[in-house]
Structure 1
């Protein structure tokens, strides 16, 4: 909750990549109570953005007009958006957190609460990316996705019994390996440094 230092760091980072400015409004959601009023308002606004997509895109185009992303929203018509499978995968963590929220409330871990909100934000923006652009909107969740790496193992340990936790660990491991395998299909890896696996196809 060191708001001013956080804002300064974000503004400095924005000189490298403009999209990091998304962290400023998300800061106030991340520090809110998980699944509380602020988070619910954010989700409602996101749904409204999907419903009123055309004026929303026009607004984004105006905001980005003087930046390096000028004209990027034109890609919306050509880009097929974020793959729904990615949204489903990223929704796993916040869904578990939602059903285990009473347990998590008793734990009252401030950092885990931030991770929960970041996870919700991640899945929500990916959801928006399904209807807009996987190239532009679909890249924003990268700022939030890393929190899932902390949160998911914690949830599997704290929100399940010992036996069910083992089963969930196994299912999640298989599921995520399958997901990342699908991502590697028809992709190429070219190492300019070593040349190893140059032209390899997944």
Structure 2
């Protein structure tokens, strides 16, 4: 009976994404006991795991029961047509050469759950939501606000309902954050290389891993800004260089295919929206420098990378370049509540958070109603 109820939990009213978060999350924030975590040797008070799991569970179940959203049917068909026997992996990989890690993962899951596409989606969703909540719980001063930004920005729908394969890679690289803070680069690089077998775009995190080190707004981030500026000014030459770099990869036809040539780039409104953490950090740079927190420094630098990649996608491709900033977007969310609490007085911080929440709600409505037309 319980299993049937879980299967029937199909998301038909997308407002429930926010209603659950606000109502249940608000109650848990008040009544759930806090627990301690160690962040770079410092004791921090965070949500307890039972409260985190309770809040996150429906988001995994809704992913399991999704249908006809984005690439869902493509993933479903691919899974149903894949072999269910591990010994057939070499034969399958010989025919499917793109992102072999995902193919192996899919067959391994199918060998356990059989032909149940719902269980396949559930296992992937549980892993993804665990990585997200683990990251927010450990490194954010406001777990609930970060979850709200993740859901209200429609990142949850865009990636866990749609770009599932790339988001698996994103979640694996998200686990590198703590390793990078402790300068365990060998382990971090190994994780990134594993993520790249799931989705090749994860290789982007190799240079970013070192760009985001050090103080916020350091010389490396400024150099990256200059590089993006040059790429925009010389877009034709930039696309030629990118085409040459991709010549021997699975993305060799990227610059000439119909999707790229007909792509008008990312909407500038979207670019400005996702640049909020970077803009806020620039305004409050003095507070960031005074605190000199390794976590906040890295999160701020990640937010700069997000803003720059979105800026580049405005002038190039929203479909291809515009999908890359997700690798550093969630880190920027972590910086936001810290910046607000340190830049403003207690009373002003409440007001700023309310304005921020209203802004994210407006974006949610814009994306869900005007862009996607699903509410």
TM-score w.r.t. length of structure 1? 0.89
How far 1:9 sits from its partner (Å)? 1.2
Q: Report matched runs for 1:34-183 at 5 Å.
A: 34-74=216-256, 75-183=259-367
Contact 1:93-1:148 within 8 A present in 2 as well: yes
Q: What is the count of residue pairs matched by the alignment? A: 190
State the Cα distance separating 1:30 from its structure 2 match: 0.8
Larger relative contact order, structure 1 or 2 (CA cutoff 8 Å, min sep 6): 1
Counterpart CA distance in 2 for 1:15 and 1:92 is: 32
Please list the CA deviations of residues 94-137 of structure 1 after superposition, one character each: whole Å capped at 9, or x if unmatched: 11111211111111110111000000000110000000001110
For residues 320 and 304 of structure 2, what CA distance do their matches in structure 1 show?
A: 19
Instruction: Say whether the 8 Å CA contact 2:215–2:289 is kept in structure 1.
Output: no
| Runs of at least 5 residues in structure 2 that lack an aligned partner in the other structure | 1-182
Contact 1:118 1:145 in 2 (8 A): yes
Partner of 2:208: 26
* Greater CA drift, 31-40 or 45-54: 31-40
Using the TM superposition, name which of 133-142 and 154-163 deviates more.
154-163
Q: SS of the residue aligned with 2:216?
A: coil
Q: Distance in 2 between matches of 1:86 and 1:180?
A: 11
Unaligned runs of 5+ in 1: 189-200
Give the Cα separation in 2 of the matches to 1:125 and 1:104: 22
Taking the aligned partners of 1:86 and 1:8, their CA distance within structure 2 comes to: 32
Q: Partners of 2:235 and 2:348 in 1: how far apart?
A: 41
Query: Shift of the alpha carbon at 1:80?
Result: 1.1
- Correspondent of 2:372 among 184, 187, 193: 187
| Structure 1 SS opposite 2:239 | helix
| In structure 1, C-alpha distance between the alignment counterparts of 2:331 and 2:215, rounded to whole Å | 16
Q: Secondary structure, in 3 states, of the residue corresponding to 1:176?
A: helix
Matched, 1:16 2:198: yes
Structure with larger Rg: 2
Partner Cα separation in structure 1 for residue 252 and residue 365 of structure 2: 34
TM-score computed with the length of structure 2 as normaliser: 0.49
Q: Distance in 2 between matches of 1:141 and 1:50?
A: 17
